[in-house]
Structure 1
Amino acid sequence: MPQLNPNPWFFIMLTSWLTFSLVIQPKLLSFVSSNPPSNKTQTIPSTTPWTWPWT
């Protein structure tokens, strides 16, 4: 069963993960977010308690 032989597949997986981790990921992380989070304070909506008819 050739699927159990990890010889070529492990090297391919290791090479692809190293390429992603060392080359592609830093390039992607260097981009500035186009929608940065704002510094607004969140407003809490004012709610009125429910008046139950049987109380």
Structure 2
Amino acid sequence: MPQLNPNPWFPIMLTSWLVYSLVIQPKLLAFLTTNPPNKMNTPTKTPSWPWPWS
């Protein structure tokens, strides 16, 4: 059963995860967001819905 042999795919998977976590991920996280979050904490008060049966 070839699917139980971890020799061909395990080193490839391990290498790809190491490359992703050590090389690609820090480069992606270094980008600044184009739309920074707004720091205003003023919640908007929405009016209640006028239900006709209440």
TM-score normalized with structure 2 length? 0.77
Q: Hey, which bits of structure 1, 4+ residues long, moved more than 2 A?
A: none
Query: Which consecutive unaligned segments of at least 5 residues does structure 2 have?
Result: none
Query: Superposed, which structure 2 residues align to 1:1-55 within 5 Å?
Result: 1-45=1-45
Q: Identity of counterpart residues, as a percentage? A: 60
- Structure number with greater Rg is 1
- May I ask how many residue pairs the two structures share in their alignment? 52
Query: Which consecutive unaligned segments of at least 5 residues does structure 1 have?
Result: none
TM-score normalized with structure 1 length? 0.76
RMSD (Å) for aligned C-alpha atoms: 2.1
